[in-house]
Amino acid sequence: DQQVKQNSPSLSVQEGRISILNCDYTNSMFDYFLWYKKYPAEGPTFLISISSIKDKNEDGRFTVFLNKSAKHLSLHIVPSQPGDSAVYFCAASGADSWGKLQFGAGTQVVVTP
Amino acid sequence: EPEVTQTPSHQVTQMGQEVILRCVPISNHLYFYWYRQILGQKVEFLVSFYNNEISEKSEIFDDQFSVERPDGSNFTLKIRSTKLEDSAMYFCASSDLGAGAYEQYFGPGTRLTVT
């Protein structure tokens, strides 16, 4: 059941540059999308979300873009900082299964000095 | 900042034993959830709970699993007779009402090891 896919298992980026994380989904009933960050031995931490009625949401260094026609969303982190090194999960929820978050496999981000 | 807490952080149990994992959601939240992550796999939804009843459950959440909100602050997940394949990180989450309902806040997890 691969309704949410993150095809890049890892990403390495230099400090100060932009990190771009991608996520694809297949279920057209999804209407809310979230990004979580996870450090080892901790729970996922909510970062930013976007409703399907928008195509962009920005919060500080984090911006999420949604392309509904392509069933694709991305997370931009600008500028990247060493503390951003973590696993990032894309998650989605839909009107047909409210509250049930479907997670992607995650992308490990490493920010190098 | 309010946070979701979970106890214990690590639970080791023998196959066939019952375990109860405990969570204290954020105090003004009304929706509660359990997820699990088997090592190397995705985070998977188990169950959602609102107004003292299950709202939705996944295929994983069979008769061996149950949830309860025994008082105004705790939310528990019980596994009646543990199997080796129940070994995983179990995460509790909670969310608010209205527009905030989609944004689930997770606890640090309980690592369950079944031997």
Confidence check: pLDDT of B83 > 90: yes
Q: Quick one: pLDDT at residue B108? A: 96
Whole-number pLDDT of residue B100: 63
Reported as type and span, the H/E element at residue A109 is strand A107-112
pLDDT above 70 (res A80) = yes
- Residue of B45, B55, B91 lying closest to A43 (CB–CB): B91
Give the model's confidence band at B97: pLDDT under 50 very low, under 70 low, under 90 confident, else very high: confident
pLDDT at residue A95 is higher than 90: no
B42 Cβ under 8 Å from any chain A Cβ:
yes
Q: Does A105 touch chain B (CB under 8 A)?
A: yes
User: Under an 8 A CB cutoff, do A99 and B33 touch?
Assistant: yes
DSSP string, A75-105: EEESS--GGG-EEEEEEEEETTEEEEEEE--
The nearest CA of chain B is from the CA of A58 a distance in Å of 16
A23 vs A47: CA distance, rounded Å? 15
In chain A, what percentage of residues exceed pLDDT 90? 88
Give the pLDDT confidence of B6-60 residue by residue, as tens digits. Answer: 999 999 999 999 999 999 999 989 999 999 999 989 999 999 999 899 999 999 9
Q: Alpha-carbon distance A11 to B44, whole Å?
A: 23
Question: 16-45 in A: which are within 8 Å (CB) of B?
Answer: 32, 34, 36, 41-45
